[in-house]
Amino acid sequence: MIEKEILENDASFIWHPLTQHKTAQAPLAISHAKGNYLYDHEGKKYFDGISSWYTCSYGHANPSLTNAIKNQVDQLHHVVFAGMTHGPAATLSKKLIGILPHNQQKLFFSENGS
């Protein structure tokens, strides 16, 4: 998808949080990321100082994490925890409980809805 089409679709179909849409400039269209940098469609590099989740610690496109995610997706994308479970969650829970304070007995997994 070319940058112009991305920005047109963005303006038509996306509501950005924390943004006054009547006065905001068009968002910066990012084409890809590597390490601590984001790149626009012209190849201009931007230091990513506002990353979240694992990105701030491990960088974008980290090979170890990318491979682990690809392997997991080959088995299972997502399961709602309402009445269901799966091996990776059970294994992770056991490991986390093992390193948490002794008054912790159960974990509650939550996500942002995306």
Q: How many CB atoms lie within 10 A of CB 52?
A: 8
Question: Is 104 part of any domain?
Answer: yes
Residues 10 and 35 grouped into a single domain: yes
d(CA 78, CA 81): 9
Residue 18 falls within a domain, yes or no? yes
For the whole model, what pTM was predicted?
A: 0.61
What does the alpha-carbon distance between residue 9 and residue 21 come to, in Å, rounded to a whole number? Answer: 14
pLDDT in tens, 42-93: 999 999 887 665 566 778 888 998 899 899 888 887 777 777 888 888 999 9
CATH number at residue 8: 3.90.1150.10
Q: Are residues 82 and 51 in the same domain?
A: no
Which pLDDT value is given to residue 112?
Answer: 52
Q: Note whether 51 and 84 are same-domain residues.
A: no
* Dist. CA 38–CA 48, nearest whole Å: 6
